Chain A
Amino acid sequence: MKIIQSIGMTLFLGALVLFTSSTFLSKVEFTKNSVKETVNENVYKSIGSELSDALQGTFSNPIKISGLVSDIYNKKNQKYKEAKEWDKVMYVGSGQLTYQLIKKNTVGWFVTSQGLLLFLTFGLGVIGALMYIIPQVVTLGPAGIKNNHVYQNPSTNRGWIAWLVFVYLVGFYVLLYFNPQFLVSQIQIVEPIKEFISGGESSQWFLYGVLYCTVMTVMGIRMIIKYRHNNYQIVRTLSVIFFQLIFAFLLVEILPLFNMPAVDLKNAWPLDYDFLFDWNVKQLFEYGNVGKFVFFWGILLSVIIVPTLVYFYGKRWYCSWVCGCGGLAETLGDPYRQHSDKSIKAWKFERYIIHGVLVFAIVMTAWTGYHTYNVLNASDSENVKASLLGISVFDIRSWYGFLIGSIFSGVIGTGFYPIFGNRVWCRFGCPLAAYMGLVQRFKSRFRITTNGAQCISCGNCSTYCEQGIDVRAYAQKGQNIVRSSCVGCGVCAAVCPRGVLKLENGPEEGRINDDPIMIGNEGVKLNYTAIKAK
């Protein structure tokens, strides 16, 4: 078993190294006409000849290409700006320009052997990971809670492995969101998958989708093995994998083939923050009735379906059964759930910041909605009003996208898994979670019931609550846990060694029991009036 696991780990690491270093393995060859054939006319007019001069011959280092391009691009733009020749300023961005130049002009085995590369990276990576994970059925011992050595292992106790993973993940997200020109090789590796599913060109978002699905599936298998004695965990993990593979990934790829808009039908506003952006709405309406249906489905989902289901089942139906962010947190993030901060301070901070984001999302949506309405009803498309109360719609939109959409949900949300735990985004940042949390706290049948006086205050529940809820604080008092942030992952109930906690949906009445008398303390019960008279 140990040997299989070691081979698996070696294969996985090898695949990871190859995947990562592929940035420097491809060859980019520029011929005389390369630049002309790649960039658009405007750009060509401005810097075409400079680019053609600079980019001659073969490169294998995209950093070098990027440096050359951005130099030329920025200098020229600077010149235009100084000369106040606004109509000539280029907006494509030097990163995007580099991306196009590299993507179009890569030659050699990276283009001809994509299938092989796909196998060597994704294929061997998955095989290696599974060779490491599946033997855990035996090596972890009989089914049951096995958190052995979590705080003794450098990958799960914020040791050096955790920090390496942290740097890797953060680096990846920074490149993904802000410098995709350095991921062109990786994007090309998954090109065959794109061709197979829907044809067309792969992009960094397609790469991200493939990675997301792969990681979630592999780590989902790990999750299922770890909790194989617990049906709630098994079914829930299968569910998040299903929704990721089918709704978030495949349908988005396939719908356009049937002349339908490429949307993730389970993605609800305000998590789906660009729902009311003009381009999104316009695009939907271009699809006619199908598009309109999708538009109204989005509204129905957020306004009716989400709160109704939260009323009946708690927000877990979304956060722990359907959502992609939650899905990644519950699979890739499972080894890190103990790192959430349980302090009262963190709870305070959480309430300010997550509700702050919700307000920001609502304001941003109001602004974009206003703008979209103007766009749709404009007689003169040149002169659409794009600001409200003096605040530009485009500014607020791009700030939201940058701060919340990229930095918070991506770089911090996932990159920080190994250090701050797996639900940083879901706990502190997700506006949909905030919205559902309000419903769950004030109008829902969901609660975690505490089993009388059986709690021994051991702390397992609080330690492994990924949302940083101090579950024990309630359980040891015999109080039910009714918290807006609980995503109903069920892990507190799973790790409790005394069978104290049960997630359940029941009548609203008596759901919250603020000051229960400890079961069995009959003396106190008998003397209750005297005690309370004090």
Chain B
Amino acid sequence: MSAGSNDHIVIIGNGISGVTLARFVRKNSDCKITIISSETEYFFSRTALMYIYMGHMRLKDTQPYENDFWEKNKIDLKFDHVTDINFENKQLNFETSSSMKYDSLVLAVGSKPNKFGWPGQDLPGVQGLYSYKDLELLEENTKNGINRSVIIGGGLIGIELAEMLHTRNYPVTFLVREGAFWGGVLPEPQAKMIERHMTTDYHIDLQLNTELAEIHAGSNGRVSKITTKSGEKIDCQLVGLTAGVSPNIDFLKNTSLKTDKGILVNEYLETSIKDVYAIGDCAEFKEHPTGRRNLEQVWYTGKMMGETLAYTLTGAKTAYKPGNWFNSAKFFDIEYQTYGWVFAKPQENESVFYWEHPTKYLSLYFVFNTKTHEFKGINTFGIRLRHELFDRWLTDKMSIEYVLEHLKDANFDPELYSQYEKQIVQQFNSENNTSIKPKKKSWKRIFNLSQK
């Protein structure tokens, strides 16, 4: 299965997973590599879409590699859309009616925005935010200015869209089905902090416990208002559908390839068909190798899958085994990082320690085992924390007391920032009748870890 130098690896999708795969294959092999995409000619960072609309960057600034990188590394790019795949003959057919043979095929086709069959969801002026084309559409949809927009779905992309529209001074109504922003993921006090931030500082009209019923067209055929399930009508000229994403595999349905929500894979990222693999947002594990969710649509998992599969394809068969969970995001001005597992509600046997700054948007939410005091995870708002250290503490199953005692080691805020470890630990002490003292930051401790 390892790619010989005459083999042709074809990757559909030039997102982070496909590109990472191609780069690592190239490091270890001279085989022919082709990346296909119908989105943009060159790889760009999807996570930066919002910054293009807000004017922080141009498309070209979001491209992690210079345009001649691909040629220099002998990675062929094909800007076309794959309409169907003949797995028997190992052949792809393109929209431009050309075709291409492959020896190994990697499906890295990503996601698409969810649409739940709302009446009016395909009207002009109604859109999701996933691809560069969506961004162009947003420019088009807002070019004459709008009086109000409605965003459906309170998650990460929804709040990004809200921030984007806010920079152009377009009022935003944000409909969230749950009783709290990102309520399925964030613990309540932290969800409340973000709600406070977006409503008081950014005047977002946040409507919790509200569901979309229907989208209505005006006389010009474009969206003119929506109604909610409770019958409220909201006039608007733009509707953003940001209620999650799902694997972009419509063109693979009705083929012999086994799929469920996504393309089903095993721990080696192999699909049900020989020499066909799937990575990134579109890959769904039949059974997750480390018991995490079977579908993890985030940036770094795509990156890790791409690297892992590249070793397999070049002769060192490697299983995909992600370690401790981590992630990050930004909600308007509040930076968020998480390490380990933090659920919206504590699981069985889990205790919580929560600290919040009295005035600033800073908060830490620690989860630990009630009996053993093993540290399980942390959500941090506004205070940056060192990934390496938390990863190590989680792997080594350190206790919550240890973590608090060494919290200064983990502080990753810029120099000269105020530090709050003292207050944090004090509060823990008084709630738990302990007498932990935060230790001074030690390079030795921090560094031994990274020396491994």
Using A232-B415, A452-B386, A534-B315 as known contacts, list a sample of 17 further A-B pairs with CB atoms less than 8 Å apart, ordered by residue number in A: A145-B333, A149-B55, A152-B55, A231-B416, A454-B328, A456-B300, A458-B48, A459-B62, A460-B51, A518-B303, A519-B326, A519-B387, A521-B308, A522-B322, A522-B323, A523-B319, A531-B316
Instruction: Name the A residues within 8 Å of B304 (CB-CB).
Output: 518, 520-521, 523-524
Instruction: Name the A residues within 8 Å of B299 (CB-CB).
Output: 456-457
CB of B412 within 8 A of chain A?
Answer: yes
Instruction: Name the A residues within 8 Å of B290 (CB-CB).
Output: 522
Contact B326 A452 (CB under 8 A): yes
CB of A179 within 8 A of chain B?
Answer: no
Contact B318 A524 (CB under 8 A): yes
Q: Which of B55, B316, B329 contacts A151 (CB 8 A)?
A: B55
CB of B174 within 8 A of chain A?
Answer: no
CB of B118 within 8 A of chain A?
Answer: no
CB-contacts of B381-422 with A (<8 A): 384-388, 391, 412-418
Known contacts A231-B414, A453-B300: A521-B66 contact under CB 8 Å:
no
Known contacts A462-B61, A493-B414, A521-B308: A144-B333 contact under CB 8 Å:
yes
Known contacts A452-B387, A452-B391, A458-B47: A534-B316 contact under CB 8 Å:
yes
Chain A residue with the shortest CB-CB distance to B47:
A456
Residues of B within 8 A of A (CB): 16, 28, 45, 47-48, 51, 54-58, 61-64, 66, 167, 201-202, 289-290, 299-300, 303-304, 307-308, 311, 314-324, 326, 328-330, 332-333, 335, 337, 384-388, 391, 412-418, 443, 446-447, 450-451
Q: Which of A451, A476, A523 contacts B412 (CB 8 A)?
A: A451
The interface bits of chain A over 107-145 (1 if a CB of B lies within 8 angstroms of the residue's CB, else 0) are 000000000000000000000000000000000011111
Chain B residue with the shortest CB-CB distance to A498:
B328
Residues of A within 8 A of B (CB): 141-145, 147-153, 229-232, 235, 343-344, 449, 451-454, 456-460, 462-463, 472-473, 476, 490, 493-494, 497-499, 502-504, 506-507, 509-510, 513, 518-524, 526-527, 530-531, 533-534
Contact B447 A506 (CB under 8 A): yes
Chain B residue with the shortest CB-CB distance to A490:
B414
Q: How many angstroms from the CA of A534 to the CA of B414 in the assembled complex?
A: 40
Contact A521 B48 (CB under 8 A): no
Interface of A is mostly: loop
Contact A235 B202 (CB under 8 A): no
Task: Please name 23 pairs of A and B residues whose Cβ atoms are closer than 8 Å in the assembled complex, sorted by A.
Answer: A147-B55, A148-B55, A230-B414, A344-B66, A449-B412, A451-B386, A452-B387, A452-B388, A454-B337, A456-B299, A457-B299, A462-B61, A494-B414, A498-B329, A498-B330, A507-B443, A509-B451, A518-B304, A520-B326, A520-B391, A522-B323, A523-B318, A531-B318
* Shortest CB distance A130–B (Å): 25
Contact B57 A459 (CB under 8 A): yes
Contact A521 B307 (CB under 8 A): yes
Contact B414 A142 (CB under 8 A): no
Q: How many angstroms from the CA of A246 to the CA of B70 in the assembled complex?
A: 52
* Shortest CB distance A234–B (Å): 8
Residue among A143, A507, A519, A526 with max Cβ neighbours from chain B (10 Å): A519
Contact A458 B51 (CB under 8 A): yes
Q: How many angstroms from the CA of A145 to the CA of B28 in the assembled complex?
A: 40
Contact A519 B391 (CB under 8 A): yes
Instruction: Name the B residues within 8 Å of A451 (CB-CB).
Output: 384, 386-388, 412
Contact A518 B388 (CB under 8 A): no
Instruction: Name the A residues within 8 Å of B323 (CB-CB).
Output: 519-522
Chain B residue with the shortest CB-CB distance to A523:
B321
Q: How many angstroms from the CA of A147 to the CA of B53 in the assembled complex?
A: 11
Contact A232 B417 (CB under 8 A): yes
Chain B residue with the shortest CB-CB distance to A505:
B415
Contact A231 B418 (CB under 8 A): yes
Chain B residue with the shortest CB-CB distance to A450:
B387
* Shortest CB distance A412–B (Å): 24
Q: Which 8 A-B residue pairs are closest in the complex by CB-CB distance?
A: A452-B387, A144-B333, A499-B384, A523-B321, A458-B48, A231-B416, A152-B55, A149-B55
Q: How many angstroms from the CA of A504 to the CA of B384 in the assembled complex?
A: 14
Instruction: Name the A residues within 8 Å of B201 (CB-CB).
Output: 141-142
Chain A residue with the shortest CB-CB distance to B391:
A519
Contact B416 A502 (CB under 8 A): no
Q: Which of B320, B415, B418 contacts A504 (CB 8 A)?
A: B415
Q: How many angstroms from the CA of A458 to the CA of B300 in the assembled complex?
A: 13
* Shortest CB distance A317–B (Å): 12
Known contacts A473-B64, A522-B323, A533-B316: A460-B307 contact under CB 8 Å:
no
Q: Which of A142, A453, A523 contacts B326 (CB 8 A)?
A: A453
* Shortest CB distance B67–A (Å): 10
Residue among A147, A459, A518 with max Cβ neighbours from chain B (10 Å): A459
Chain B residue with the shortest CB-CB distance to A488:
B415
* Shortest CB distance B85–A (Å): 27
Chain B residue with the shortest CB-CB distance to A529:
B316
Contact B64 A457 (CB under 8 A): yes
Instruction: Name the B residues within 8 Å of A498 (CB-CB).
Output: 328-330, 335, 337
Contact B61 A476 (CB under 8 A): no
Known contacts A343-B66, A458-B48: A463-B61 contact under CB 8 Å:
yes
Instruction: Name the A residues within 8 Å of B63 (CB-CB).
Output: 459
* Shortest CB distance A459–B (Å): 5
Q: Which of B51, B303, B330, B415 contacts A503 (CB 8 A)?
A: B415
Q: How many angstroms from the CA of A497 to the CA of B61 in the assembled complex?
A: 15
Known contacts A230-B414, A231-B416, A510-B451: A522-B321 contact under CB 8 Å:
yes
Instruction: Name the B residues within 8 Å of A506 (CB-CB).
Output: 443, 446-447
Instruction: Name the A residues within 8 Å of B386 (CB-CB).
Output: 451-452
Contact A463 B57 (CB under 8 A): yes
Contact A472 B333 (CB under 8 A): no
Q: How many angstroms from the CA of A523 to the CA of B202 in the assembled complex?
A: 43
* Shortest CB distance A283–B (Å): 40
Instruction: Name the A residues within 8 Å of B333 (CB-CB).
Output: 142-145, 229
Contact A526 B443 (CB under 8 A): no
Residue among B56, B330, B450 with max Cβ neighbours from chain A (10 Å): B56
Q: How many angstroms from the CA of A485 to the CA of B304 in the assembled complex?
A: 31
Instruction: Name the B residues within 8 Å of A463 (CB-CB).
Output: 56-57, 61
Contact B318 A527 (CB under 8 A): yes
Q: How many angstroms from the CA of A429 to the CA of B2 in the assembled complex?
A: 50
* Shortest CB distance B389–A (Å): 9
Q: Which of A149, A343, A503, A509 contacts B414 (CB 8 A)?
A: A503
Chain B residue with the shortest CB-CB distance to A497:
B330
Contact A144 B314 (CB under 8 A): no
Instruction: Name the A residues within 8 Å of B443 (CB-CB).
Output: 506-507
Contact A510 B202 (CB under 8 A): no
Chain B residue with the shortest CB-CB distance to A506:
B443
Chain B residue with the shortest CB-CB distance to A458:
B48
Instruction: Name the A residues within 8 Å of B335 (CB-CB).
Output: 497-499
Contact A520 B324 (CB under 8 A): yes
Q: How many angstroms from the CA of A506 to the CA of B322 in the assembled complex?
A: 30
Instruction: Name the B residues within 8 Å of A518 (CB-CB).
Output: 300, 303-304, 307
Residue among A143, A462, A498 with max Cβ neighbours from chain B (10 Å): A498
Instruction: Name the A residues within 8 Å of B413 (CB-CB).
Output: 502
* Shortest CB distance B259–A (Å): 23
Contact B450 A527 (CB under 8 A): no
Instruction: Name the B residues within 8 Å of A459 (CB-CB).
Output: 45, 48, 51, 57, 61-64
Q: Which of A149, A231, A457 contacts B16 (CB 8 A)?
A: A457
Residue among A143, A145, A343, A451 with max Cβ neighbours from chain B (10 Å): A451
* Shortest CB distance B293–A (Å): 15
Q: How many angstroms from the CA of A524 to the CA of B322 in the assembled complex?
A: 9
Residue among A149, A454, A463 with max Cβ neighbours from chain B (10 Å): A454
Instruction: Name the B residues within 8 Å of A235 (CB-CB).
Output: 416
Known contacts A521-B322, A531-B316: A151-B58 contact under CB 8 Å:
yes
Q: How many angstroms from the CA of A509 to the CA of B317 in the assembled complex?
A: 33
Instruction: Name the A residues within 8 Å of B61 (CB-CB).
Output: 459, 462-463
